[in-house]
Structure 1
Amino acid sequence: MFDNALIYRAHSHFPGADQLAQLCQKQLFRACAATEAKRVGWSTVCGDQMVHPVNSQFLVLRFSRQERLLPAAAVKEEVEERAAAREKASGSPLRRAEKQILKEEVYEELLPRALKRTGHFLVAIDTQRGWILVDAASRKKAEEALDLLRLTTGSLKVTPLATRDRATDLMTRWLANPAERAEGWELGEACQLESPSGDEGVIKATEVDLESDEIQQHLEGGRICSALAVARTDQLALVLQDDLALKKVKFDDALIEGADPSDDDASAFDTEAHLHIPALAAVIEELIGLLGGEVSPVIEEEASTEEQEAA
């Protein structure tokens, strides 16, 4: 299910599952053509479903991306070799425009022979909370999925989810003082420590006792926690990042206990989706509460405008 969760606030409504599935059909994933460097699209997510509904609240899609692996360094080297050969034959250096044309020729020639790499990840739309959860390892990849969702629906305004309190403040307090930790939460075995100014390097600790004297000394020296492994009892473990990204999500085995085992891939996916996605959303909601609640950039801008008009 979700290995990561990048959380976005949607500022527009979504169509229902059936309508969204029809819209996704217009943006189906297909492999790159010989002259294409990249293709993105939607793939079936469960059986032959383009959109898989969960608990009448979540709409789950599968984003697919394929790219041709043609390193810029390889193109540059080939261009330089051909440019040198032409300059030797003509006895004069190539002009900048000629080198650009040569570069385009090399790229077009090598691209069809480049190896292809395909990746997939899930996107879950929480229609009640207005969230979009993207199982991407980076914001850049998540933005590709959001761009495709925007193209699919016709319009979509989203912003990264923001909270009133900074995640670094909460993580630093939890790391420094056990009494500060919320009930039902415990520390894992990894953290990342930075100086407030950012000019003293980053300390990454893995598979360590986070209550050790060494970690505490770094905190006493003024470092703050920018990533922290935590676990919500009987729900899941994750690494919380300073931008509210959830990485290395691992669901607790207790979530799947009692579920009917199935050899059918679609049924197994449906079972996991109904157990894991609501649990993930509930943990996110709890984290937001611990961080002082969500703040909306749109609402704040509107309030600011009203205040200015009143003034």
Structure 2
Amino acid sequence: MWFKNLRIYRFSRPCELNEESLEKALAEFAFTPCGSQDRQQLGWVAPLGRHGHTLLHAASGNLLLCMRREERVLPSAVVKEALDSKVAEIEEAQGRPVPRKEQQTLKEEIEMQLLPRAFTRSQKTFAYVSPQENLLIVDASSAGKADELVSLLRKTVGSLPVVPLASNTNPAACMTDWVKNGPMPTGFSLLEEAELRDTQEDGGVIRCKQQDLTSDEIFAHLEAGKMVTKLAVDWRERLTCLLEQELVIKRLKFNDLLREESGNSDDVDAAAKFDADFLLMCGELANFIPELLEALGGEQSDDTE
């Protein structure tokens, strides 16, 4: 259980969620597969999959949950082919053109006929609530997936007073200063990947990989006014990640030695390994997130918004 992305939300007031009440609330919105006419379904499933039965996994006060999204796959090309065939049949039989409005109605009817036979695909999105840190952390690469989970959780518990985590200083300005002027904040070091973007609306974008970011070439781009909008960093040789200007963490990777601390999967059962991984991850992030905020000038408060 190791997150690969972090979208972090701060509770605007002390988190009141607890294991008992949240488990009960999740049960009301447990996942059910798509019916014959459902385009998609959202709901909560057991985070441990087949190794668990509860919709909530709790460890050291942290509450892990998992949203499953299932949708029916109905390719537009298939619908168009069926629609074209139907339109041609009507035109030939009745000797008249089929107007746009009627075609739209036919399209909807065709989709309803095809839906029961359409394949389904599903995705899982994990998140955990840390009442002690007053945070909600979602493992989602896109804002849309994170918003979907947050919306479902808000619907599930009735009220979810969270806002995206924000720093006092613009992360892009901080990252630009780190690369251009140095030094890196304590505990952080540069890796060899970054994105540089012109501040003009239609400005250029430079993506660097396996590139010495302290080189004269990079410095020249920064002197010309480009900003660092994505930056790969290492934190205390415990984890690496790609920090983005929206204070989003992507491509999060924990040190192999750290991952081995939870024990070899051959030595422990899957549920115990999952639990140990989750505990270790939460512990690391509880230290990493405050240090990241400090490196970015501290967390934005109501007074600094």
The TM-score normalised by the length of structure 2 is: 0.91
Task: Give the structure 2 partner of residue 22 of structure 1.
Answer: 24
Given the alignment, which residue of 58, 61, 79 partners 1:53?
58
Contact 2:262–2:273, Cα closer than 8 Å, also in 1: no
Q: Per-residue displacement from partner, 1:253-284 (whole Å, max 9, x unpaired)?
A: 23234444343111011101111122123212
- Aligned partner letter, 2:181: N
Contact 1:255–1:276, Cα closer than 8 Å, also in 2: no
Task: Give the structure 2 partner of residue 33 of structure 1.
Answer: 35
**Equivalence map 1:57-76=2 (5 Å):** 58-76=62-80
Contact 1:11–1:156, Cα closer than 8 Å, also in 2: no
**Alpha carbon RMSD of aligned pairs, Å?**
2.0
Q: Which moved more, 1:282-291 or 1:93-102?
A: 93-102
For 1:61 and 1:225, locate their aligned partners in 2 and report how far apart those are by CA, in whole Å: 34
Task: Say whether 1:269 aligns with 2:274.
Answer: yes
Task: Say whether 1:133 aligns with 2:137.
Answer: yes
**What secondary structure, in the 3-state scheme, does the structure 2 residue paired with 1:133 have?**
strand
For 1:271 and 1:27, locate their aligned partners in 2 and report how far apart those are by CA, in whole Å: 27
User: Given the superposition, is the C-alpha separation of residues 196 and 106 from structure 1 closer, same or farther in structure 2, using an over 3 Å criterion?
Assistant: same
Task: Give the structure 1 partner of residue 98 of structure 2.
Answer: 94
Task: Give the structure 2 partner of residue 279 of structure 1.
Answer: 284
- Aligned partner letter, 2:272: S
**What secondary structure, in the 3-state scheme, does the structure 2 residue paired with 1:151 have?**
helix
For 1:247 and 1:254, locate their aligned partners in 2 and report how far apart those are by CA, in whole Å: 20
Between the aligned residues of both structures, percent identity stands at 37
**What secondary structure, in the 3-state scheme, does the structure 2 residue paired with 1:237 have?**
strand
Q: Per-residue displacement from partner, 1:174-224 (whole Å, max 9, x unpaired)?
A: 122332x11221112211110011312321112322223322221122111
Q: Which moved more, 1:220-229 or 1:70-79?
A: 70-79
Shift of 1:244: 0.6
User: Given the superposition, is the C-alpha separation of residues 73 and 192 from structure 1 closer, same or farther in structure 2, using an over 3 Å criterion?
Assistant: farther
Task: Give the structure 2 partner of residue 2 of structure 1.
Answer: 3
Q: Which moved more, 1:242-251 or 1:16-25?
A: 16-25
For 1:257 and 1:91, locate their aligned partners in 2 and report how far apart those are by CA, in whole Å: 73
Task: Say whether 1:115 aligns with 2:115.
Answer: no
Task: Give the structure 2 partner of residue 173 of structure 1.
Answer: 177
Q: Which moved more, 1:120-129 or 1:243-252?
A: 120-129
For 2:170 and 2:145, locate their aligned partners in 1 and report how far apart those are by CA, in whole Å: 24
**Equivalence map 1:153-232=2 (5 Å):** 153-179=157-183, 181-232=184-235
Q: Which moved more, 1:32-41 or 1:165-174?
A: 32-41
Shift of 1:77: 4.2
Structure 2 unmatched ranges of 5 or more: none
**What secondary structure, in the 3-state scheme, does the structure 2 residue paired with 1:93 have?**
coil
For 1:6 and 1:103, locate their aligned partners in 2 and report how far apart those are by CA, in whole Å: 38
For 2:149 and 2:63, locate their aligned partners in 1 and report how far apart those are by CA, in whole Å: 14
Contact 2:170–2:296, Cα closer than 8 Å, also in 1: yes
**What secondary structure, in the 3-state scheme, does the structure 2 residue paired with 1:276 have?**
helix
Given the alignment, which residue of 44, 50, 58 partners 2:46?
44
**What secondary structure, in the 3-state scheme, does the structure 2 residue paired with 1:178 have?**
coil
For 1:215 and 1:128, locate their aligned partners in 2 and report how far apart those are by CA, in whole Å: 41
The TM-score normalised by the length of structure 1 is: 0.89
Contact 1:226–1:241, Cα closer than 8 Å, also in 2: yes
User: Given the superposition, is the C-alpha separation of residues 224 and 33 from structure 1 closer, same or farther in structure 2, using an over 3 Å criterion?
Assistant: same
Contact 2:26–2:156, Cα closer than 8 Å, also in 1: yes
Given the alignment, which residue of 146, 150, 160 partners 2:150?
146
Contact 1:234–1:254, Cα closer than 8 Å, also in 2: no
For 1:197 and 1:154, locate their aligned partners in 2 and report how far apart those are by CA, in whole Å: 42
Contact 2:31–2:68, Cα closer than 8 Å, also in 1: yes
For 2:213 and 2:135, locate their aligned partners in 1 and report how far apart those are by CA, in whole Å: 32
- Aligned partner letter, 2:282: I
